[in-house]
Amino acid sequence: MSINQIYSRPPGDVLLLRLQDFSTPDSVLIIIDLINAFGPSPISPTPELPVPTINEHFQYVVNSVISLWESQRKPIIFISDAHHQSDFERLNEPPHALYNTKAAELMSWVLQPDYSKHFTKRTYDGCSNHKFCKYIQSKKFSKAYIMGTSTGVCIKHTALSLLKNGIQQIYMIEEALGDIFPSRHKFYIQVFKDHPRIHIIPYPILLFHFQK
Ligand SMILES: [Zn+2]
């Protein structure tokens, strides 16, 4: 996509003005649940609830964004499921990503800069891990950039919770979000686009602003 094509998109779609200060030090990149449990075969050795859209382009965008952040040593946080068997009595979903198993490990293709922080969670909401939540608050981050899975579950719950815990604006990188159910993905992308503090941004826009 050329810059002219980007600028010709409807204004509500790209929010260029709000993006101009995206690289300030109070912005954090948060990567949710890119673990083997959610990777489709053959990308993951242990697919449990595979997200079908984790393809080569998805992987390219995720790692490109991580590399951009790393190139400026900007903060990067991974937060991923690590369940106990008892969690599934409450969660109404099939067992997946059990603590200390291969399924709960990040997929092998995901870049992990040496200074990145790693947290685990046992519910849909990353902020249910108080260490994660306190870390976000202690660093006074006001903007969060989000990638990962699943759009309608852990992305949604974690994003809404972050907005109650110090984060003012959330930017989701469109090509780097996926859901087990493509129809649920589509539905929540629209919900987020209508949210006053959540912005869906295409990767070329992020790249363009990063390079300015
Ligand atoms: Zn889970």
Determine the pLDDT at residue 10.
Answer: 47
User: Looking at the predicted structure, is the pLDDT value of residue 12 above 70?
Assistant: no
CA 211 to ligand 1 centroid distance, Å: 36
User: Looking at the predicted structure, is the pLDDT value of residue 3 above 70?
Assistant: no
Q: Which domain holds residue 99?
A: 16-211
Asked if residue 33 lies in contact with residue 149, where contact means CB atoms within 8 angstroms, the answer is yes
Determine the pLDDT at residue 92.
Answer: 79
CA 128 to ligand 1 centroid distance, Å: 12
pLDDT > 90 in the chain, percent: 80
Report, in angstroms and rounded to the nearest whole number, the Rg of the chain calculated over CA atoms: 16
CA 187 to ligand 1 centroid distance, Å: 20
CA–CA gap between residue 170 and residue 135 (Å, rounded): 17
Q: Is residue 104 part of a domain?
A: yes
Counting the structural domains of the chain, the total is 1
Three-class SS string for the chain?
Answer: CCHHHHHCCCHHHHCHHHHCCCCCCCEEEEEECCEHHHCCCCCCCCCCCCCCCCCHHHHHHHHHHHHHHHHCCCCEEEEEECECCCHHHHHCCCCCCECCCHHHCECCCCCCCCCCEEEEECCCCHHHCHHHHHHHHHCCCCEEEEEEECHHHHHHHHHHHHCCCCCCEEEEEEEEEECCCHHHHHHHHHHHHCCCCEEEECHHHHHHHHHC
pLDDT classification of 5: cutoffs 50, 70, 90: low
Helix 56-71, helix 203-211: angle, nearest 10:
20
Q: Is residue 5 part of a domain?
A: no
Q: Is residue 186 part of a domain?
A: yes
CA 18 to ligand 1 centroid distance, Å: 32
Q: Is residue 105 part of a domain?
A: yes
CA 150 to ligand 1 centroid distance, Å: 10
CA 110 to ligand 1 centroid distance, Å: 19
Nearest C-alpha neighbor of 176 from the set 167, 163, 185, 165: 185
Could you tell me the pTM of the whole model? 0.89
Residue 109 sits in a domain whose CATH number is 3.40.50.850
Q: Is residue 190 part of a domain?
A: yes
Q: What is the rounded average pLDDT of the residues 12-31?
A: 63
Q: Is residue 26 part of a domain?
A: yes
Neighbours of 148 (CB within 10 A): 28
Q: Is residue 11 part of a domain?
A: no
Q: Is residue 100 part of a domain?
A: yes
Q: What is the mean pLDDT of the chain?
A: 89
CA 194 to ligand 1 centroid distance, Å: 26
- pLDDT tens digits along 92-145: 789 999 999 999 999 999 999 999 999 999 999 999 999 999 999 999 999 999
- pLDDT tens digits along 45-80: 999 999 999 999 999 999 999 999 999 899 999 999
